[in-house]
């Protein structure tokens, strides 16, 4: 049994170390065995990735080797090793699920500009007579947007407040008094 635990720990640990080094070098990626199952596969199928299997093997082997020295019965040693491998597998799955939620598409949502101050870049005519342009800071970026006035015309250089977003591409502004 010691040989099985040793091989599991050595092979699984080597794969984990290699994956970590590849990740540091920017070579890493998702090496799952999911194939073309589709985006709606069960959570159970997501556990079959190279990272998950190597994590299970590593902890199965290490705990198996460690508990063999305690003079436990073979079923107790195998049970403890399996439990440790399954716990490590579940932990890695939870961490990876959390990390996958950290993505960002990088798109600016103009609705986040509502309530912010902006500067008129090109004259904003009165309502119904076209649109001007404003510079506004949204999501940490300065962007130029089409703008319409809520009341009278607003000259270039004036400071305005964004009061609404129309059609996700045009801001409704009013002068700051």
| CATH, residue 152 | 2.40.50.140
Residues 32, 115, single domain; the answer is no
pLDDT in tens, 43-91: 666 667 788 889 999 999 999 999 988 888 999 999 999 999 999 988 8
Buried b (16+ CB within 10 A) or exposed e, 131-149: bbbbebebeeeeeebbbbb
Q: What is the pLDDT of residue 51?
A: 83
Q: Is 77 a domain residue?
A: yes
pLDDT in tens, 4-52: 999 999 999 999 899 888 888 877 555 444 444 444 455 666 667 788 8
Give 119's strand partners. Answer: 135, 159
pLDDT in tens, 96-137: 778 777 766 678 888 889 999 999 999 999 888 999 999 999
Residues 144, 89, single domain; the answer is no
pTM exceeds 0.85, yes or no: no
Residues spanned by the domain of 51 = 2-100
Q: What is the pLDDT of residue 47?
A: 67
Instruction: Identify the domain boundary among 48, 81, 100.
Output: 100
Report the C-alpha gap between 152 and 175 in whole angstroms: 9
Q: Is 19 a domain residue?
A: yes
Contact 133, 122 (CB under 8 A): yes
Q: Is 105 a domain residue?
A: no
Q: Is 71 a domain residue?
A: yes
Residues 10, 61, single domain; the answer is yes
Positive or negative torsion for Cα 128, 131, 132, 133: positive
Residues 96, 115, single domain; the answer is no
Structure tokens at 25: 């070098």
How many domains does the chain fold into? 2
Q: What is the pLDDT of residue 31?
A: 46
Residues 13, 91, single domain; the answer is yes
Helix (H, G, I), strand (E, B), or coil: what is residue 74?
A: helix
């Amino acid at each position: 049994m010691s040989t099985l635990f040793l091989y599991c720990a050595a092979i699984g640990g080597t794969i984990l170390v290699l994956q970590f080094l590849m990740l540091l070098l920017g070579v890493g990626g998702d090496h799952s065995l999911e194939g073309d199952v589709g985006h709606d596969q069960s959570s159970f199928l997501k556990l079959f990735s190279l990272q998950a299997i190597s994590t299970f093997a590593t902890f199965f082997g290490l705990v198996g080797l460690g508990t063999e020295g305690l003079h436990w019965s073979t079923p107790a040693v195998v049970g403890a090793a399996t439990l440790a491998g399954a716990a490590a597998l579940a932990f890695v799955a939870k961490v990876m699920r959390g990390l996958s939620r950290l993505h960002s598409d990088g798109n600016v949502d103009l609705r986040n500009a509502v309530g912010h101050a902006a500067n008129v870049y090109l004259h904003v005519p009165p309502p119904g007579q076209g649109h001007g342009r404003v510079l506004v800071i949204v999501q940490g970026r300065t962007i130029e947007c089409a703008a319409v006035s809520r009341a009278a015309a607003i000259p270039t250089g004036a400071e305005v407040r964004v009061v609404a977003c129309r059609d996700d591409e045009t801001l409704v502004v009013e002068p700051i008094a």
